Amino acid sequence: MVNARSKRRSYLSFVLPAFIIYATIMVFPLVFTLGLSFTKWKGFGPIEFVGLQNYVRLLSDPVFHIGLRNNILIVLISVFGQIPLGFLLAYMLHRRMVKGAKLFEIMIFLPITISSVIVAQLWNRVFAPVGILPTIIRQITGNQDYIMKIFESKDFAFVPIMFVLLWQHTSLYMVIFLANLQRIPESIIEAAKIEGANEGTIFLKIIAPILAPVAFINSILAISGSFKSFDLIYSMTGGGPAHFTEVMAVYMYNTTFVFQNYGYGSAISIVIILFIVLAIWLTKVMTNRLNMG
């Protein structure tokens, strides 16, 4: 009896502090945000309960729709751009397919070490009407009015941002793949070669199966990171021009803290969380099916 009580105490003494911290910084804000999403509140004064009004507004809010579309584009460029490219680069470096692998490793890894705000400023100085790229093109073409019109296109203004995201974040996945590739014993590859396996067979039969769980983890990182995308876009375009490069997190931030519409901002936050959970669940289902297949 005493032993059981003592065990429970020990258990609680280990678990409770972590649980309290988790509840304080994760559960409470989440529940509070969920509660606020059913209200109209300016951040001060009386809180007015409005039921599902904020969620209904989301359905017909064109700015939110642009944000959602752009977030989905980030997920696509992350999962189908950054991860495969990261893997390709890691594979090439690991299999020593290029000379000076270490140099390339450092070069590719560098962007992820730079603050997103600095990356945004850097690329702004490339793309801006007075930036390097339009200036060079003006010199070459003689067209003094040349600017990067793509930034003023409702459909394509987000493409340059996707390019910068690809440039900045691919290295993270490359490093994760590279670290896992380095864990594969060289003897297995050598044995496969002695058995007559070519590069394609080694990749399909040895490397790909070993790295499948890593790809899954990378996908989760990519998806959750994609829906949270904020710093680079906020610094690079602030969602403009005319909301063309809006993403949900930037819209949520502006709605909540700039427009002081805490209720609607909270509803956007809850939808972001739901999208993250849904996307990760879908990834898990698809990975399980692929593994079973």
Partner 1 sequence: MRSKMKVFIIALFALVTLGLGAQNASSNAPITLTVYMQNDLANPQSAYWPVTVEAFQKKYPNIKLEFEYVSGEEFHQKFQAMAASGDIPDLFTCYAGARSGYILDRGMVKDLRPYLTDSFKSQYNSAIWQPQGPKGEIYIISPNMAVCTVIYVNTKLQKQLGLSNPKTLDEMIAQVPKIRAAGLDPLAFGNKAQWQAQSLLLSVLVDRMGGTEWFDRAMKGTAKFTDKPFVDAIAVIKKMVDAKLFPAGVNQLEGPQAWGEFVQGKAVYLLDAGWRVSALKAAASPSDYAAYAAIAFPAVEGEVVHGSSAATLGEALAMNAKLSGAKADAAWKFLSFIYGKEGSEILMQYGTVPTYKLDYSKFDIDSLNKQYINLINNQTMGYVIDAKMDSEGVNNILNPGLQAVMMGTKTPAKLAAEYEAWVAANDSNRHKK
Q: Which residues bind partner 1 (CB under 8 A)?
A: 42-45, 63, 124, 127-130, 134, 144-148, 151-152, 154, 237-238, 240-243, 254-255, 257-261
**Exposure pattern of 245-266 as b/e (b: 16+ CB <10 Å)?**
bbbbbbbbbbbbeeeebbbbbb
Q: How far is the CB of 243 from partner 1 (least distance, A)?
A: 5
CB of 221 to partner 1, least distance (A): 29
Cβ burial of 18 (10 Å; 0-12, 13-18, 19+) is exposed
> Between 86 and 263, whose beta carbon lies closer to partner 1?
263
For residues 189 and 206, the answer to whether their CB atoms sit within 8 Å is yes
Q: Which is nearer to partner 1, 129 or 213 (CB)?
A: 129
Work out how close the CB of 66 gets to partner 1 at its nearest, in angstroms, rounded to a whole number.
10
CB 73 → partner 1: shortest distance, Å? 19
CB-wise, 67 or 81, nearer to partner 1? 67
Cβ proximity to partner 1: between 146 and 167 the closer is: 146
* Nearer CB in complex with partner 1: 29/129: 129
Between strands 48-49 and 39-40, the pairing is antiparallel
What's the gap between Cα 251 and its chain centre? 16
By beta-carbon proximity to partner 1, the closer residue of 54 and 170 is 54
Closest to partner 1 by CB, 29 or 240: 240
- Closest distance between partner 1 and the C-beta of residue 44, in Å? 5
What's the min distance (Å) between Cβ of 92 and partner 1? 36
Residue number, 259 or 281, with CB nearest to partner 1: 259
Q: How many Å apart are CA 160 and CA 153, to the nearest integer?
A: 11
Q: How far is the CB of 251 from partner 1 (least distance, A)?
A: 9
Residues linked to residue 38 through DSSP beta bridges, in sequence order: none
In the bound complex, what is the minimum distance in angstroms from residue 115's beta carbon to partner 1?
17
Sequence-distant (≥ 6) Cβ neighbours of residue 260 within 8 angstroms: 42, 43
Answer yes or no: are the C-beta atoms of 191 and 251 closer than 8 Å. no
